[in-house]
Chain A
Amino acid sequence: MSSPTEATAGTAEASASAVRVFAATAWREHGLAALLLAPALLCVLLFFVYPLGHAVVGAFAIPAAGDAPPGWGLGHFARAFDLYGTDIVFTGVLVSSSVLLTGVLAVVIAGYLTLGETPWAVATLRWLYRWPLFIPFIVAAQMMRSFLAKNGLMNNTLVGLGVLEPIQTIGFLDWRGVVATFVWKQLPFVTLLVAGAMAALDRSTVEAARNLGAGRLRILLEIVLPQVKRTLAVALVLSFVTMMSVLSVPVMINAGSPTLITVDMAYRINAHGDYGVANALGIISYLMTGLVAWIYLKHGIRQHGGDPR
């Protein structure tokens, strides 16, 4: 009868060899995959995850000041709210509205592309809506700057056509211009994804409803939309993230306050070198994005889960 130590040693031996066998099999099976994936993963880890960690640390780390030693705390967040509280709320409201507006318009356009029955209109629409997709944000911002101004081309055209009097023209170079530019730029992207999802749907349910005499709007809202909710949710979340990352549009179009916190972050870094408050604002933007993503995806996936497909 082997002693307890021998038994333990035996088990240890067995487990060690089991690990070795597992490692060997794992290496044979997954080693190649790991090797192929390593460079790309490393890139993401080094140049995204590491700076991200930097941002999180920087938001909470309070440097030494006076007699106080360096430590952790919410001081930067307090200052961020103190200085930019209005901007934070403004950002949340503006970006959410832009995303929602984009979603509604995208569903309308994609719906018409799928259910439309006038070939020339559908073809024209399909050709038309894609143009802003390939125009970078910064070019869009520049165009809108002189298009939407009080005496910009849009107002001049309206005045020229007799729709408006010169005195009635208003400049859109504030939050409305920012919303307009965001929607203008993101609409083709969301529409593309949603239209793609709608095109991949089974037409039989649509045909059945048409045969029963349902109007196209009803078909869109009750049959098509629920089936593409997941794609729509993903597209809207991606749009939210994109809008929260754009610096050029708010800087070039929205001159005054309140403004988006992206501008404030850049200002803190460039004018003051204040990484603490800038990173705190960054964490706040992540929380906002996370919250919105959670809401949209939960809604989208729940609907998808309840679908009898």
Chain B
Amino acid sequence: MTAALSRLPGWVLRGLILGLLAFAIFGPLVNLGLWAVTEKWYFPAKLPMQYGFAFWERVFSPRGGAMQSLANSLLIAASTVALSLALSIPAGYALARLRLPMRTAIMLLFLLPQAFPNLPVYMNIAAIFYRLELNGTILGVVLVHTVHGLVLSVWIAAAAFAAVDRSLEEAARNIGAGPLRTFATVTLPLAAPGLMASAIFVFLESLDEFTGTYFVGVPDVTTLPLLMFNASMGGNYQVAAITALILLVPSIGFMLFVERFLKAEVLSKMGS
């Protein structure tokens, strides 16, 4: 068998392996797409027996809950990004520009939420939030999402600010601009691409976040992932597939968009 394989021209072998990889990656996606346009599909049919958009109507009906979930998800994600940026821009600047005695310790502290399995933390946050009456509120969910995404946004912000050429800032100061003005007109715009990347990451992480919302949001706050989970566990694969597609649109859209920002420099500065 291997002898036969080695006699094949190289491009066939490469094509085969790439083809297998493509099947492994896109097969499940195609499956999702099929379920999204299915109306009837049961054994022993290999492909859907009846195609249609009946379930799209059901999902988007006023009482369907999908519109509310979508709105919740977007609102929470946008608020998470806003809060994240508000917290990480100053923190990233401090870490990149100012001298700190405990810089490593502080960086490690921000790493904590990603270093520990966060399920036990979410369980306990829910218990704490119950007492503070924050459980089941949008604010509670936003706080949970923000903390989870903070390490990513702080580290990327620090890397972005570190990549800004100091000489440009000094030049601005030399011609008389105050520190705040320098920051707003010189540093921030130069770091903007990196900050945009972090904003997008945080947005996507919040949109797709499930575990924290499961503990803190249920039953009052429904986000798209929760809706998808309920539909899937309820055996309603069509609704689950449709909701999944809705979730994928921003994700894949931003993936194509962020290819520009995933530069090696930014990535290699992460962790320094």
Contact = CB atoms under 8 A, between A and B. Distances in A.
Interface of A: 29-30, 32-33, 35-37, 39-41, 43-44, 47-52, 54-55, 58, 118, 121, 124-125, 128-147, 151-154, 156-157, 159-160, 184, 192-193, 196-197, 199-200, 234, 238, 241, 244-248, 251-252, 262, 265-266, 269, 275, 278-279, 281-283, 285-286, 289, 293
Contacts of A197: 268
Contacts of A286: 116-117, 120
Contacts of B248: 135, 139
A262 B118 CA distance: 10
B199 interface: no
A303 B177 CA distance: 48
A282 B151 CA distance: 21
A241 B210 contact: no
Given A43-B146, A262-B119, A153 B27 contact: yes
Contacts of A43: 87, 143, 146-147, 150
A54 B228 contact: no
A136 B251 contact: yes
7 contacts: A37-B95, A40-B87, A40-B110, A55-B124, A241-B115, A248-B225, A282-B123
A282 B252 contact: no
Contact of A275 (B31, B109, B117, B127): B127
Interface stretch (B58-66, B99-107, B162-170, B186-194): B99-107
Contacts, number: 236
Contact of B228 (A135, A142, A151): A142
A156 B22 CA distance: 17
B44 A151 contact: yes
Contacts of B110: 40, 44
Contacts of B23: 157
Contacts of B244: 139, 142-143
Given A33-B100, A43-B146, A247-B211, A143 B32 contact: yes
Given A136-B207, A145-B232, 4 more contacts: A37-B106, A40-B91, A124-B18, A275-B123
B3 interface: no
Nearest to B252: A134
A245 B123 CA distance: 12
Nearest to B258: A134
A137 to B, nearest CB: 7
A252 B91 CA distance: 38
A246 B28 contact: no
Contacts of B86: 39
B88 to A, nearest CB: 6
A200 B113 contact: no
Interface string B78-116: 000000001110110111001111000010011011111
A172 B130 CA distance: 39
A248 B251 CA distance: 18
B232 A142 contact: yes
Secondary structure dominating the interface of A: helix
Contact of A37 (B30, B91, B101): B91
Contacts of A32: 94, 98
B196 interface: no
A39 B84 CA distance: 10
Contacts of B71: none
Given A199-B264, A234-B271, A248 B116 contact: no
Contact of B116 (A52, A54, A125): A52
Most chain B Cβ neighbours within 10 Å, of A30, A33, A282: A33
A136 B208 contact: yes
A129 B255 CA distance: 12
Interface in B231-259: 232-233, 237, 240-241, 244, 247-248, 251-252, 254-255
Given A40-B110, A142-B232, A265 B119 contact: yes
A245 B119 contact: yes
B35 A44 contact: no
Given A41-B106, A136-B208, A151-B44, A144 B118 contact: no
B114 A241 contact: yes
Q: 7 closest Cβ contacts across the A-B interface?
A: A282-B120, A136-B208, A143-B28, A244-B117, A36-B90, A40-B91, A51-B124
A132 B90 CA distance: 32
B46 A160 contact: yes
B29 interface: yes
B252 A157 contact: no
Interface in B199-216: 204, 207-208, 210-211, 214-215
Contacts of B154: 40
Given A51-B128, A134-B204, A247-B214, A140 B91 contact: no
A139 B23 CA distance: 17
